[in-house]
Structure 1
């Protein structure tokens, strides 16, 4: 039988979900089957397709065939997911086990009425509203546990639009254990991935492209802040993280 505290917690979660639905109520654009380069105010892709028209990108439409996994939907991950959504990526797969807090409002794209929701569910709702053409899967669990790690691997291996492996994994997490879990999974699956982190003041950070079998893995060549063996609690307190 549920305790009073558990019931109160559930009520708050349901209230937050209701607020999220009400907060997203409003006009939503229809899905667009084919990207157009027509320069009109009603075309959300006109400025992106201009890259093709100017010869900067050969086939911009190919982005709609691509699937990207974003691990960690905090300070780095939420911005990354939003930009990919606005660009018209084919599919986004979001991983996080944290919840939205009012303290996140200073720099994340979440809204006050989403406080209490899981970050992945809140992000999925917001992103779907921004661009309904993007397929979005949200996974609210910690990838570092044994059972969840296997689920994570399976999703990376079969989660693309075609049922195969994703095109790229983007690590936007804020702790060493999660980075090592991603490193292990991508090594096992021969999966290309980006590891990243940024300081809270946005002055410094790191980004690392890792190709199993071609470049050193994260464990062999970690970024300076990890290689220096700085205490992780100090690291997170000073803001060098992805949350």
Structure 2
């Protein structure tokens, strides 16, 4: 059960003392935070996922066929919660994209005790930056780390890998509380687009080496990362507007 689900459950439970639950204003603020904080990161992730589809047409076609088999042929029928969980290949594509291009490429942690790291003493209370982007491309943990390969996230591959080598939503008790919401949002957005369009490389951005970005608190794409959209044969003119 997620943090927000716990809040809502306690808010509605008449057996929980009122002084132990959040006020209505605080509850609304928490929910707005979960939704709004994830907007910038998922926006970047969605854009790069579409680039990965453009650069890997065979994988794109396999994802499209999976979407059709799970969601049906009508692109105007919205996916259900359970259907989104059945999009296994799309899930692996998203995870592999976040490995190569994590929307939050750096995280910070404070040392609770003095520790030794590679011969250096880190005093208690030190704030340390962890380079997630570097971990995700470290050949010690990933074979051909710069290659796009969604099969890295097959259950058999994931089971034999140290979980702390993949950190797009951080890890531990301070991990991203919006990770499940973000995955659902990305699967909904990408599946909606792929049901209507083929994704093709743009005029300037033709391969993974052409993707331009910069690091800040989050990853930000730079101008020039273009793609092209070609309507699929089953897309009517009235379908070209994505539903609200």
TM-score by length of 2: 0.25
**Higher Cα Rg: structure 1 or 2?**
2
Structure with greater proportional helix content:
2
Q: Which has the higher contact order (CA 8 A, sep 6+)?
A: 2
TM-score by length of 1: 0.25
